[in-house]
Every structure is written in structure tokens, then in C-alpha cells.
Amino acid sequence: MSTLVKFFFSCCLLCVFASLASADKPNILYVTFDDMNDWVGCLDGHPQAQTPHIDRLAERGVLFTNAHCVVPACSGSRAANWTGLNPVNNLVYGNGQKLEKTMPNAMVLSKDLENQGYATYGTGKLFHGGNESRFQEYGPTYNKWWPITDEEKVIPQSAIDAGGPYVKHYIPRLGITMPLNQMPRDRNPGSTTIESFDWGVIDRPDEEFTDTLCANYVIEKLNQKHDQPFFLGLGIYRPHQPLWAPKRFHDLYPPESVQLPAVYQDDLKDVSRIAQGIGRYAVTSGAHNTTVEWGQWRNAVSAYLANVSFADEQLGRVLDALDASPYADNTMIVVWSDHGWQLGEKEHWGKFTAWEASTRVPLIVVPPKNGKLRGFEPGSRVDQPVSLLDVYPTVMDLGDLEKRKDLDGHSLLPLIKNPQAKRKHPAVTAIGRGTWSIRDSKWRFIQYFDGSRELYDLENDPEEWKNLYGDKQYAKVVSKLAKHVPEDPNWKHFVYFGEFKAVIPANDSAMLLYGPGSQIVYESKSVAKDYPEVVKAIKTYLKDNRVTDKYVRMDG
């Protein structure tokens, strides 16, 4: 045999082996919802929720009934999920920070898979910014305002000058007046763009809502031939506000017949001042009092459920396309939501609280059919607490791929094989710097940045109405759960001073100051330069009192 023939023969063998190796790697369909809480059928979060496609997916995979986000805000949750790192290590504690700034060279799941031979495709909202650069190909992105155009969302000065309890902005093309909920805005009252804390019917075709276009892109990819394993990410934006969906989904939930979430009038009387502020501030949405006063609570609940069902249908369309494709048997499916959303519980609307309604999320994992994973049974339910931080290592283990050693999560593979397997790790959620929520199978323990605490028995008090912290009979429970509060070496002190929160870096660099009002929670931008007298007072207090505690509460 000539040298040339041997060379070509060797090349052919290599190609065959490479092809076989690629065939052994499962494709990955990776779907995330935005702001979807546990109001889905299989989680029994709301008795009227209609989510047939999420429910049927749970029947073919493993449903994690006690799954919780890492951060109850888009940027922090997604940074943790995609990097596999908690906020202590990726420095994204909320929407005030972005991964491309805190860790511009971070290894993320899509790039990790690309390095291991995957073709990576994405569409919709996957990261909180910087989506396109992290995939080899990116389809349509999301636009929360559609069917309203960028030009139409701008409020003309004449409408602002007209006055009244709320600014009315008429859009001739659609024949609607914004805001649809006819409520004054609690956030940014002087804004010249329409309010996103809005709900109602915009009767337009499905294709004028970007989630439909994103699902179409995924369906198109599933109908194509792929010569290497693929990772296909779909970020479905709804039910994120504004709560607009095609009319037929709103028709599913007549407002007069929807069931409101359970609330307790004096719910916040037994929690600290900072916890009350987190509940009542109009940080990520509007205020509960405004919603109730203007008679919009039922309409909002109806619209949220409508958007959940709209998002569910997009998932269903994609699942149907997958099942009809050549990739049906060799594709792993992972579906999750970035965090929950409150609709009046504990006087709160939106996310970014330390409570169950803000942290609990849908999470479903379906191993590839041809993988024949030993022990896995379709329709399994895992009731032990898990974290979205666990998704990255789970994908790597299910795909039998090389797994990074620095991942902070714990693979769910043992639970997929055996839902009763012992698990030592509670779900840990960060709510800004210095505030942590710990959830195990029975309890939720919260420690705020000012040192105040809460403890809830979720078995007997699922709405978290009774704060048990301070009751001596639960001291051992508190001690056990408090051990799981992460030690964050980035910060030396967290200081609560009047309407301000100060964060003192461990490296003695400049103090971060947040406030007043809702910014004490949201931490979007340090205001240290604007309040030098506050900075000076805090520095003086810490020095004069030789403070060594990490959690500090000053009078003010």
C-alpha cells in the first residue's frame, strides 16, 4: 500500500471516529423563561394556570418541585446559571451589575460546549445583555415592547403636559391608549416612555410578539441538518412585564373569575424595617397599594396567567418540532425560569425579595431518550431543594462532557437517577450584597445585610406569614441553617444607616453607598459622591467604635 493511500485511509478512519464521537454527544435544547413563578399546572402554584406543554414535559422528564434561583433578578440569576458561579465569585448580585463588566472573560456554558465540539445557537433573552457574542449564531432577539414600536413607546410632550392622575398616550395604529391598566406610575414618574408595569389586551397577530419569532427560529434550526452536536438556547421573554399577549390567551382568564393570591393584611409586622422596605418599595414593578386602589389586582393576575400560557404555547411548538425531527431521541431538554414573581404577596409586586414567591421556579430536566440512563423514570418528581446553580454541572454530567472544577453548583444527576437520593445542599439565594436566603426541605432562613433575620416553617406556613426567628425553640434550626450563609470575602462591612446602605470592600477601596429609598435594595449605582456627609458619618462610626462585625446597623 502506497504512503499516499495509507494517508487517505488514516484520514477516513479519523473522520469516521470523529463522526462517531460526535454522535455520542447529545444535542441540548435549553429553554429559559423570564419572571415565571410557580404558577404552572405541574407545580400547583395557581389552581387556574393552564400550562399543558410544561406539564407534558414534566411527564417525560424530572420535575424539581423545590427549585430556587440564585438571584431573584434577571442579571444575577442568568450570570450564575451561565457561568456556574455564585455571586461571591462572579460579582453579579442583581441587575445593577452585568457579567460583561464584572467578568468579561468568564467561561459560560455555551462557550464551554463550543470548546467541546458543539455548534451553539441562541435566540431571545438568554443572558441579561451580551447574548449574541456568546453563541456561534444568534437568531431574533427579544423586544419587550412589541407590538408597540420604539417610536410609538415615546410619550409626546403634549400628553405629559395634559396632566391628570396618569399620563394618557394614544397610539393611532393600534387604536389603544397607554397605559392599558389606567394607573399612575410608581417608578420614574417623569419618564418620557411608556410604563412596563402594565397589562391588558393588544389584539395583534402572534408574529408581532417577539417570543413567537424566537420560537420560529428554534423550529427552523430543528428542521435543518446538523453535522455536529448542537446546543440550542431559547430565551422566552414572557411572562415578564409588560403583561401583553395575543388576545386568545387573555380570554382564558376572565378577570372577574380569577383567584387572587393569598395575602395576610399584617404580614410584614413581624419583620425588620429593611424587610418591610424590600416588600413595599416599587423597585422592579409598581406598588401593591396603587394596584389595589385603582382596582387592577384581578386584571393583573389575569394578564400574568395569560402570559404564562402564551409562553407555554411557544415551548409546546418547539417540543412538537423536536419530536418530529431526526433529533428527537438524542436531545437533552432543560427548561427553567430565572426567578419567581410576586403579585401582591407580602405587599410586593415583582421580584428581588428573599421569599418563596420570588425564589421558587420551574425546573425540568429530560435526559436524551437513547441515553437509557440507568435509574431514570419519566415523570419523576424531586422534592428536595435544588438551585439553578446546579444546572450547569448537570448538563455536563448528562452529556458525559468534561466538567470544570470551579463550578459552585452540585450536579443533579444523582437525583435524576434516584429522586430519593440524599442531598446535603440547601438552595442559597442572594438578594443584593450581604443578604442571603437559605431554603431546605422544610425551612427558609433569611439574613439581611443589617443583621436582621427571619425563619419560616414552609410545611406548616407555606405563605411565610409567621416569622419564627427569635423563638428559642427554633434556635438549633437557625444555627444549622445560618452555617450555609456564604462567607463573602469581597466585603468587610455592610452598614444600614437610615435610608442608606453602605458596602465596605475588603480591600479598603472606596465605599459603595446606595439609597435613598428603593435604591437601598436595588444597588443600581453607588451614590457615594452625592452624599459625602453620609460617607463621612459611616467612616467615623466604624473607626470610633472599632467595629469588627460584618453586619452593622447605625442609628439614623
Let me know whether 380 and 463 are in one domain: no
The answer on 278 and 155 residing in a single domain is no
Sheet holding 230-236, edge to edge: 137-138, 119-124, 230-236, 27-33, 331-337, 363-366, 62-64, 380-382
Pair 367, 470 in one domain: no
Copy the grid coordinates of residue 262: 393569598
Residue range of the domain that includes 465: 428-482
3-state DSSP of 199-264: ECCCCCCHHHCHHHHHHHHHHHHHCCCCCCCEEEEEEECCCCCCECCCHHHHCCCCHHHCCCCCCC
Tell whether 317 and 445 lie within a shared domain.
no
Beta strand pairing status for 386-387 and 67-68?
parallel
Cβ(340)–Cβ(388) under 8 Å?
no
Do 389 and 324 share a domain, yes or no?
A: yes
Do 474 and 500 fall into the same domain?
no
CA distances from 476 to 354, 422, 455 (A): 21, 21, 12
Find the helix or strand (DSSP H, E) in which 87 lies.
helix 87-90
Question: Residue 421: what pLDDT?
Answer: 94
User: What sign for the dihedral angle of Cα 195, 201, 204, 205?
Assistant: positive
Q: What count of Cα atoms within 13 Å lies in the side-chain half-sphere of residue 376?
A: 21
Any domain includes 9: no
Q: What is the pLDDT of residue 480?
A: 97
Task: Please list the ranges in the chain whose pLDDT falls under 50.
Answer: 3-22
Establish if 56 belongs to a structural domain.
yes
381-407 pLDDT, tens digit each: 999 999 999 999 999 999 999 999 999
**Cα angle 186-282-91, degrees, rounded to a multiple of 5:** 135
Residue in the structure block whose three cell numbers are 446606595: 514
Does the residue 20 lie in any domain? no
| 59 shares its domain with 99 | yes
The one-character DSSP state at 154 is: B
- DSSP β-ladder status, 491-497 and 500-505: antiparallel
Looking at the structure of the chain, the number of domains it has is: 4
In a 3-state reduction of DSSP, which class is residue 312?
Answer: helix
Looking at the structure, tell me whether residues 240 and 158 fall in a common domain. Answer: no
Q: pLDDT at position 7, please?
A: 40
Task: Indicate whether 46 and 116 sit together in one domain.
Answer: yes
Same-domain check for residues 125 and 151: no
Q: Is 496 in the same domain as 355? A: no
Would you mind telling me the total number of residues written for the chain in this entry?
556
- Write the CATH number for 384: 3.40.720.10
143: left (phi over 0), alpha (psi -120 to 50) or beta: beta
Q: Residue 517's pLDDT is what?
A: 82
Tell me which amino acid residue 107 is: M
Helices (H), 120-173: 157-161
pLDDT score of 188 = 86
